C-alpha cells in the first residue's frame, strides 16, 4: 500500500456517540472531512443537527440518531438504522461520557449508577452492536474514548468513580480486542489528557494553572489534537494494532 493511501478512509461508514458537542463533535467532523459517511448518536437532536449540517459540507451522508447509549433499546434502534441506511459499519467511535467531581464519601448511589451506565455500559452496548455488524464483514475498527484518569489519580479534583469507569473502559477495550481479533475487528482506545472542551472551559477553568503545571508541555490540549490519533486507529495505518490505549496528554502521565 502506498503511503498516500495508508491513512485514507474515504467511503467508509462511521458512527460517533456523544457527537453533538466537545470531543465527539470534533471526531465526527474529522471523519466527515476524511470522506466517511457519519452516523451521529447522542441525546440532543438540536446539537446533532448542527454537526450534521457542518459535516454535509464535506459531501458525505449523515444520519442523526437521538438516544441514550446506556439504554439497550436506544442502542439497538440506532444500529438497526445504521444497518438499514448505511448497509455496513466500518468505524465505531464510543465517545459518549459524563463526569462528576464528588468525594467518594458523598457520592450518591444513583450518581454511581449513572456514571457506570453511560461511561462503561454505553461502551459495552455500542461495541456489542458494532461487532454484530462487523463480524460478517471480517473487518472493522472500534475506538473507545478513555482518559488519562484510567491510569492516574487526577488532582486536585475528587473523581474516583469517573476514574474507575475509565479504567474499566480501557480493560474492556483490551478484552474485546482479544475476543474479536479473529473476526478482523480491531478494538483500541484513545485516552486524552486535559482538553479545552466546552464543559471544561465553562466549569473548571480555575484549575487550569495547576493542571498546566503538572503537564510537561505546560498547556491544556485542544480537542483538534486528537484528530491524528483517530485517523491512525481508524485507518489501515494501524492494521496490526489491537488492544492499545493511545495516550494524548502532553506528557501528563509521564510524571
pLDDT of residue 252: 96
Given 47, 149, 166, 194, the catalytic residue: 166
pLDDT of residue 203: 74
Which phi and psi (to 5°) does residue 248 adopt? -125, 90
Backbone CA torsion sign across 189, 154, 165, 37: negative
Residue spans per domain, the chain: 3-247
**Strand 140-145 and strand 91-94: pairing?**
parallel
The residue to which cell 478482523 is assigned = 184
> Per-residue DSSP letters for 133-189?
HHTTTT-EEEEEE--GGGTS--SSS--HHHHHHHHHHHHHHHHHHHHHGGGTEEEEE
pLDDT of residue 198: 79
pLDDT of residue 255: 73
pLDDT of residue 202: 72
Active site residue 252: no
Q: Three-state SS for 62?
A: strand
pLDDT of residue 129: 98
Which phi and psi (to 5°) does residue 187 adopt? -120, 125
Active site residue 213: no
What is the H or E stretch that residue 115 is in? helix 109-116
Active site residue 162: yes
Q: Which residues of the chain have pLDDT under 70?
A: none
CATH class, 3-247 region: alpha beta
Given 70, 158, 162, 238, the catalytic residue: 162
Given 147, 189, 191, 235, the catalytic residue: 147
pLDDT of residue 60: 98
Amino acid at each position: 500500500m502506498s503511503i498516500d493511501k495508508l491513512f485514507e478512509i474515504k467511503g467508509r461508514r462511521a458512527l460517533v456517540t456523544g457527537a453533538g458537542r466537545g470531543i465527539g463533535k470534533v471526531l465526527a467532523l474529522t471523519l466527515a472531512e476524511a470522506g466517511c459517511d457519519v452516523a451521529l448518536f447522542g441525546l440532543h437532536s438540536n446539537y446533532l443537527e448542527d454537526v450534521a449540517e457542518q459535516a454535509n459540507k464535506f459531501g458525505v451522508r449523515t444520519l442523526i440518531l437521538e438516544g441514550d447509549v446506556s439504554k439497550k433499546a436506544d442502542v439497538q434502534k440506532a444500529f438497526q438504522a445504521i444497518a438499514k441506511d448505511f448497509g455496513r459499519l466500518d468505524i465505531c467511535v464510543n465517545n459518549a461520557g459524563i463526569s462528576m467531581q464528588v468525594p467518594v464519601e458523598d457520592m450518591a448511589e444513583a450518581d454511581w449508577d449513572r456514571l457506570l451506565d453511560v461511561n462503561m455500559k454505553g461502551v459495552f452496548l455500542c461495541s456489542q452492536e458494532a461487532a454484530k455488524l462487523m463480524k460478517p464483514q471480517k473487518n472493522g475498527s472500534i475506538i473507545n474514548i478513555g482518559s488519562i484518569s484510567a491510569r492516574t489519580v487526577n488532582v486536585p479534583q475528587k473523581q474516583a468513580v469517573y476514574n474507575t469507569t475509565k479504567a474499566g473502559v480501557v480493560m474492556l477495550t483490551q478484552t474485546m480486542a482479544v475476543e474479536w481479533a479473529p473476526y478482523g475487528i480491531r478494538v483500541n482506545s484513545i485516552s486524552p489528557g486535559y482538553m479545552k472542551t466546552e464543559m471544561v472551559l465553562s466549569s473548571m477553568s480555575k484549575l487550569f494553572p495547576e493542571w498546566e503545571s503538572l503537564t510537561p508541555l505546560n498547556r491544556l490540549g485542544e480537542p483538534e489534537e486528537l484528530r491524528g490519533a483517530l485517523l491512525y486507529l481508524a485507518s489501515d495505518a494501524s492494521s496490526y494494532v489491537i488492544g492499545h490505549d493511545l495516550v494524548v496528554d502532553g506528557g501528563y502521565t509521564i510524571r
